[in-house]
Structure 1
Amino acid sequence: MRLRLREFRPRTGPYEHRIVQPWQPLRHTFLSPPEPIGLLLGDHDGLNRLAGLFSFAAYSRHTIVHVPLREGVPPDEGWGRPVDLVLAHHALGLRPARWPELRRKLRHGTATALTARTDEARTERDAARWRERRERADFREELRHATHADTFFLFGSRDVFAQSATSFAHAAGWGPRHKNVVEGRSALMAELPALVQSPGGGHPQDVLICFKPYPPYAHFRRPGR
């Protein structure tokens, strides 16, 4: 997949950060955090580009991927408050409490255009290896997460981000084939894999991935029709 991105290089003290955003906003994509069940609702374009962004994040260990979603078109179904999305590798050491400072620098900073290409075959291979390892008793490759400053953060490794990318690709490809989406209804397609759960039990935390065509729904046709 070819991704058009904005690249920023803000500094905090002696450190330079590399942050990328989609060049065009994902206007018909909505995200609410897991409290305890979150929702990611998107059309084909939004889910497809999220698949590419997760794949890009998987192989960009020193890059923060920021996906602004709060200013999108509000959906006519769903729940929760809208939040943005940030993806970063565990090893990068990004702390959610530092994000508001970095975000302010993006608003006043200068972006450069960046074109990136993702390798879907490599992404699928790494996702398959993650699924194989998940069956082991010592499995620890999960997605850590936090919600802070109207932003949902996901911290992971290459392979769990690759698995997430394949989940979004599946939702983008097969969501339009669901029967009721022609009426504007959403279709549950997948979930974010292996979210770390809060200690002490309680209801499991999860983020559901759903396909939903954007209105007006009269324009939408299922593939093959």
Structure 2
Amino acid sequence: MRLRLREYRPRTGPHGHRVVQPWQPLRHTSLRAPAPIGSLMGDHDGLNRLAGMFSFAAYSRHTIVHVPLRDAVPPDEGQGPLVDLVLVHETLGLRASRWPELRHRLRQGTPLTVRTDEARTARDAALWRARQRHAGRRDELRHTTHANTFFLFGDREAFAESAMSLAYAAGWGPRQKNVTSGHAALVSGLWGLRQPPGGGHPVEVLVCFKAYPPYAHFRRP
């Protein structure tokens, strides 16, 4: 997939950072952080481009991927405030508390075009799924919500699995029942979120397809 991005090189003290955003906003894609259930809802374009952003994040260990979603067209389904999304490799060591300062410094971005490798993403997603079948498996997407932003900290295989889950939702979401009437359809999820100690309801982010109006123009494939 070809992705058009906006690249920033902000500095905080002696430290330089690389941050990328989609070049064009995902107007019809929104995210609500899990409390304990969250939702990621989007049309085909938004879910497809998000899959590409997760795939790019999987192989960019030194890059912060920022997807602004708070300014999206609010869906007429779901509850809770909209949040932005940040994807970071666990090894980068970014703390969520540092993000507001970094976000404030995102100025004068430059165009960047990248291509993702869907075959490699699929292979790494399969490795993640195989790893989950072993005894002693652990959930591998650490997450937190801070400053109106949902953060996911993971590794290559975990982000690759999320990319494939979003690609599945983008491809099969338009085929679900009632989507031509504007109803959201639950298609997949972001799996492998690390669970808090003590049990209780599992933390989940459900991925839903939702066409945008006017629905008379939408046709299922």
Aligned to 2:158: 160
The TM-score normalised by the length of structure 1 is 0.97
Alpha-carbon displacement from aligned partner over 1:149-183 (angstroms, at most 9, x marks no partner): 00000000000100000000000001001121011
- Structure 2 residue aligned with 1:116: 114
Moved more, 82-91 or 130-139: 130-139
Structure 1: tracts of 5 or more residues without a match:
none
2:182 pairs with one of 181, 184, 187: 184
Q: State the shift of 1:79 in Å.
A: 1.6
CA contact (8 A) 1:68 1:84 kept: yes
- Aligned 8 A contact 2:139 2:194 in 1: no
Alignment partners' CA distance in 2, 1:196 and 1:140: 8
Partner of 2:20: 20
Is 1:139 aligned to residue 137 of structure 2? Answer: yes
The answer as to whether partners of 2:139 and 2:193 remain within 8 angstroms in 1 is no
> 8 Å contact 1:54–1:164 — kept in the other structure?
yes
Given that residues 26 and 72 in structure 1 are in contact (C-alpha distance below 8 angstroms), is that contact kept between their aligned partners in structure 2?
A: yes
8 Å CA contact 2:30–2:41 kept in 1: the answer is yes
Q: Percent identity?
A: 72
**1:85 offset after TM fit, Å?**
0.1
1:45-101 deviation digits (Å, cap 9, x = unpaired)? 000000000000000000000000000101111121100000000000010000000
- 1:97 matched to which residue of 2? 97
- SS of aligned partner of 1:169: helix
Aligned residues: 221
* Mapped pair 1:58 → 2:58: yes
| Corresponding letter in the other structure for 1:208 | L
Looking at structure 2, the residues matched to 8 and 137 of structure 1 have their Cα atoms a distance apart, in angstroms, of 41
Within 2, Cα distance between the matches of 1:130 and 1:196? 14
Q: Which runs of 4+ in 1 moved over 3 A?
A: none
SS at match of 2:56: helix
Give deviations 1:176-206, integer Å, cap 9, x for gaps. Answer: 0112101100110111111001112221110
Offset of residue 215 of structure 1: 1.2
Distance, in Å, in 1 between the alignment partners of 2:172 and 2:61 is: 30
Q: Is the 8 A contact 2:48 2:166 kept in 1?
A: yes
CA offset at residue 141 of structure 1? 5.3
Q: Distance in 2 between matches of 1:50 and 1:149?
A: 21
- Coordinate RMSD, CA, aligned: 0.7
- In structure 2, stretches of 5+ residues that fail to align are none
